[in-house]
A and B are shown apart, each in its own frame.
Chain A
Amino acid sequence: MSVFNREAAVRLILLRLARLGAELGKPALAQADEQTRLFGEASHLDSIGLVTLMSDLEEDIHRACGVRIVIADERAMSRLTSPFRRVGLLADHLVELVAAAQA
């Protein structure tokens, strides 16, 4: 069972954002970092892009860690600070989900 830490999560998200940026014609996504906004006016992703990102990440994590997770779970939706706001917050959320799935 592979270790999925925060660094790995950030790397995965940034890689996926860069690919998505190439696909959507938004090269700025290739320059994303932990502070990059994932939704809202300051984001380069629209709702379709965000759905694509989450869906692709679920599959990436399955390939990397061998576990199936649902990123938009009850816990994520009920948090005061949405894990979908910034790359860093999403990375924290992914690490939690993978740890829970591997436990």
Chain B
Amino acid sequence: MRIALVTGTSRGLGRALAESLLGDGWTVHGFARGPQALAHPAFRAHAVDVGDEAAVQAAVAAVLETSGRVDLLVNNAGAASMNSLLLTPAKKAEMLMRVNYLGAFHCLQAVGKAMVRQRAGTIVNLTSVAVPLALSGEAAYVASKAAVEALTKVAANELQPHGVRVVAVGLGPVDTDLTRAVGRDQLAALNVRIGRPSGTTLAEAVGFVAEEWGGAPSSTGTVRYLARLG
């Protein structure tokens, strides 16, 4: 039985990733702050704020109590905010860093220890095409995701000798609650810019991320984008 831990499973991409894994026979532990509607015999919901180190440690301990191991961690939980750099409140920047970067850091650290003991495991961190594009209006968000990419590369170097693979995958706008607040014209322009004029469906995004479940060990430290950049 393969065991996965996915963060941000209450809705959107996280929930879709969890459903995909469940469909493939995985046992999935889902971390989310609020209630989770996903109902499946092999799904275990945990109420966790990934920005809270102690809460993450306790929840990962509970996962290990239940399942004994974690084969796959998907750091999907995230928050977004669009604002001009000079008008972005510091509190907003702090919140984005806490959820997007520290959330991934806390989960990676807690689960990484279990994977080191197992001498095996895969960690997939979610990033965004906004990083290589340095998108205007997303300074705080881009900075937090750039930190996730840097974390991925260092973690890959440190954990590779223990048999643990760490990668990042970056998506453009996916049709979820997170992007529905963004103007249609703005999204359309971005989708054209990344070579995906029709946009990215949830199914396409899940398929792209899922390619990492069985990735080659040599791919550790890589950042792949579902986009045509440059």
A interface, CB within 8 angstroms of B = 48, 51-52, 55-56, 58-59, 62, 68, 70
Contact = CB atoms under 8 A, between A and B. Distances in A.
Interface residues of B, number: 10
A52 B113 CA distance: 8
A52 B116 contact: yes
Nearest to A59: B117
Contacts of A55: 113-114, 116-117
A48 B57 contact: no
Contact of A68 (B61, B116, B117, B158): B61
Nearest to B110: A70
Nearest to B109: A70
Contacts of B57: 68, 70
A51 B116 contact: yes
Given A59-B117, A68-B58, 14 more contacts: A48-B161, A48-B162, A51-B116, A51-B158, A51-B162, A52-B116, A52-B117, A52-B162, A55-B113, A55-B116, A58-B113, A59-B114, A62-B61, A68-B61
Nearest to B58: A68
A21 B122 CA distance: 26
Contacts, number: 21
Per CB-CB distance, the 3 closest pairs between chain A and chain B, nearest first, are A55-B113, A55-B116, A48-B161
A52 B163 CA distance: 12
9 contacts: A51-B116, A51-B158, A52-B116, A52-B162, A55-B116, A55-B117, A58-B113, A59-B117, A70-B57
A88 to B, nearest CB: 24
A56 B117 contact: yes
Contacts of B162: 48, 51-52
A73 to B, nearest CB: 11
Interface in B34-83: 57-58, 61
Nearest to B53: A70
A56 B162 CA distance: 12
A14 to B, nearest CB: 18
A56 B61 CA distance: 14
A56 B58 CA distance: 18
A56 B158 CA distance: 16
A68 B60 CA distance: 11
Contacts of B114: 55, 59
A41 to B, nearest CB: 20
A87 B59 CA distance: 30
B213 to A, nearest CB: 24
A62 B58 CA distance: 13
Nearest to A52: B116
Contacts of B158: 51
A19 to B, nearest CB: 12
A51 B157 CA distance: 13
Contacts of A52: 116-117, 162
A71 to B, nearest CB: 10
A13 B162 CA distance: 20
B155 to A, nearest CB: 12
B69 to A, nearest CB: 11
A5 to B, nearest CB: 24
